[in-house]
Amino acid sequence: MNEQDYPQGTKIIEIKQETPTVKTVVFQREFNFKPGQFVMVWVPGLDEVPMSLSSKNSITIKDVGETTHALHAMKPSDKIGLRGPYGNGFSLKEKNILAVGGGFGTAPLKPLFKNTNIKWIIGARNKEELLFTEEIDTLICTDDGSKGEKAFVTVLADRELATGKYDLVISCGPEIMLKNLFKVCEQHNINAEFSLERYMKCGFGICGHCAMDPTGWMVCKDGPVANSKILRELKEFGEYTRDKKGEVTSL
Ligand SMILES: Cc1cc2nc3c(=O)[nH]c(=O)nc-3n(C[C@H](O)[C@H](O)[C@H](O)COP(=O)(O)OP(=O)(O)OC[C@H]3O[C@@H](n4cnc5c(N)ncnc54)[C@H](O)[C@@H]3O)c2cc1C
């Protein structure tokens, strides 16, 4: 596909290698968006995938499969298609916020780095996979202890919440991490707003692929950010997901 076939695409202006498996793609088009909202990213000739905005003109991508691999292989001046922004974003109604980023899940939280009401915890498997920790004052933990505390983010969150200083926990990361973090929030009786991921095709509530059991809450249209009330209702949260064909697979 060349530029003539695809005049509405936006040009990539910069690509940054953030970790061995994560790159940030900066593009020309700028979005007026709420942190936590996402865009549908079309890679001409391949597929269209949801990606959270990590700034008004960037997405931060982990290389996990065919489309993300193609995005990683792109160069400045290549073109991608973008539509959005979609979804609700974080409400941020409360004032004293603990933000917890796990792995590349820190990407949708990045637009909140300037917010001074937020205390940060960022974790990853090892120090190479820590994302954006150089850009912000944050507590750090790694599974292998190669940087920061050798612990899961839930251990640090539990300790922070015990201080009684917070009234909201926002997070994004692997769903198993989110499930365990939610248990910690419930134990401390603190509201949660977590950004969830499911396969989706349309991005705005038509295809129904991302509807979650048993309520049919749609990650694309009703989410991707779910609050405590919603999380309590979603029986598939932390348990199972659906693959491209819609078949149930355990997490
Ligand atoms: C609202 C939303 C925001 C997202 N934001 C980001 C982001 O900021 N950065 C980022 O790197 N990724 C993000 N994702 C996930 C991203 O969309 C998938 O990684 C991508 O679609 C994978 O496409 P692929 O063709 O490379 O891999 P595929 O070949 O489709 O999949 C490779 C593996 O990745 C997993 N996977 C793929 N898509 C999803 C999905 N939607 N949910 C859960 N697991 C999936 C599956 O385990 C699969 O086996 C987001 C997803 C959603 C729903």
Q: Are both 114 and 179 inside the same structural domain?
A: yes
Q: Nearest Cα to 201, choosing from 246, 247, 249?
A: 246
- 65 CB-contact burial (10 Å; exposed 0-12 / middle 13-18 / buried 19+): exposed
Give the whole-angstrom CA distance, residue 247 versus residue 178: 22
Cβ atoms 112, 57 nearer than 8 A: no
Q: Residue 208 in contact with residue 186, Cβ under 8 Å?
A: no
Residues 168-193: tens digit of each pLDDT: 999 999 999 999 999 999 999 999 99
- pLDDT score recorded for residue 116: 87
Whether residue 106 has pLDDT greater than 90: yes
Distance 200 CA to ligand 1 centre (A): 9
Tell me, yes or no, if the pTM score tops 0.85. yes
**Does residue 94 have its Cβ closer than 6 Å to ligand 1?**
no
Residue 202, domain member (yes or no): no
Q: How far is the CA of 160 from the centre of ligand 1 (A)?
A: 30
238, part of any domain: no
With H, G, I as helix, E, B as strand and everything else as coil, classify residue 137: coil
**Owning domain of residue 179:** 97-195
From first CA to last CA, the distance across the chain in angstroms is 36
Whether ligand 1 lies within 6 angstroms of the CB of 38 is answered as yes
Question: Which residue owns the Cα nearest ligand 1 atom 31?
Answer: 65
Question: To the nearest whole percent, how much of the chain has pLDDT over 90?
Answer: 92
Q: Is residue 78 located within the same domain as residue 121? A: no
pLDDT of residue 37: 98
Domain boundary among 167, 195, 223: 195
Nearest CA to ligand 1 atom 28: 65
User: Does the pLDDT value for residue 1 go beyond 80?
Assistant: no
Domain CATH code at residue 64: 2.40.30.10
Tell me: pLDDT of 247 over 50: yes
Q: Whole-number mean pLDDT of the chain?
A: 95
CA 197 / ligand 1 centre spacing (Å): 7
Residue 23's pLDDT band, with cuts at 50, 70 and 90, is very high
Residues sharing a CB contact under 8 Å with residue 73, sequence separation 6 or more, in sequence order: none
Domain count, the chain: 2
Residue 102 lies in a domain: yes
Which residue intervals of the chain are DSSP H helices? Answer: 66-72, 153-161, 175-188, 228-233
